[in-house]
Amino acid sequence: MSIIIMVGPQGSGKGTQADLLAQRLKIPHINMGGLLRAEVAAGSDLGRQISAIMAAGELVPTDVASQVLKRRLENDDAQGGVVFDGFPRNMEQDRSLEKILSQLGKKIEHVIYLNLPDAAALERLAGRRVCTNHACETNYHIEFNPPRVPDKCDRCGSPLVQRHDDTPEVINKRLAVYHAETKPLIELYSQRGLVREIDASQSIAKVADDIKQATATW
């Protein structure tokens, strides 16, 4: 059983690396942003409530995010462990996650912190393309990680698009939220001795390799 949290600024590669780590450990990658985008795309009541918040780069309310997360965690495939990407993002969400996990007899075991300067984050997000199939949502980069066929997902063949929140204005807003709310969480987890810090400014393969070494005994 592994409960692993992937944390870092926007564009640090949380989604990219959580996907690789989850495949290697044979546990699901739970992508909070992806789960919320799927609600918006489905046009659910909840999706309508959160659409404008996400478009502005703000955090959706903790009770809403927690409700979506809890539902996903109850799936059979999550019982052997998960890699969380994008949750928790602040102290309130940490308390909420602890509560959800304790109800399931689980706790946070490891935190991988992908450290990246904001300037690099902006460059990466400007070139990101994502799969339009919400069940897939594979990430690409036009220069650093291009698809085999331009604008087509390697995994499922669906079209690739630029995310609506990958504009310079919204990226800066998301980074500001990260520094104000998520950074203190990394301090908290460091004090608990849970954090492995990885230099995320390296290539995708090198970051994956460093994570592999840091997690060799998990």
- Binding residues (CB under 6 A) for ligand AP5: these are 8, 10-16, 32-33, 36, 53-54, 57-60, 65, 86-87, 89, 93, 124-125, 127-128, 139-141, 144-145, 165, 174, 202-204, 207
Cα(124)–Cα(138) distance, rounded to whole angstroms? 15
Residues 6+ apart with CB under 8 A from 181: 59, 89, 90, 91
Is residue 163 part of the annotated active site? The answer reads yes
**Of 37, 124, 129, 174, which is the active-site residue?**
174
- How many CA atoms does the CB half-sphere of 69 hold within 13 Å? 29
Degrees to nearest 5, angle at CA 5 with 72 and 204: 110
**Of 72, 152, 163, 196, which is the active-site residue?**
163
Report which residue's Cβ sits closest to ligand AP5: 33
- Is 89 strand, coil or helix? coil
Nearer to ligand AP5, 15 or 28 (CB): 15
Minimum distance from residue 26 beta carbon to ligand AP5 (Å): 20
Minimum distance from residue 105 beta carbon to ligand AP5 (Å): 22
Is residue 192 part of the annotated active site? The answer reads no
Minimum distance from residue 120 beta carbon to ligand AP5 (Å): 8
Is residue 129 part of the annotated active site? The answer reads no
Contact 88, 60 (CB under 8 A): no
Contact 106, 3 (CB under 8 A): yes
* Active-site residue set: 14, 89, 128, 163, 174
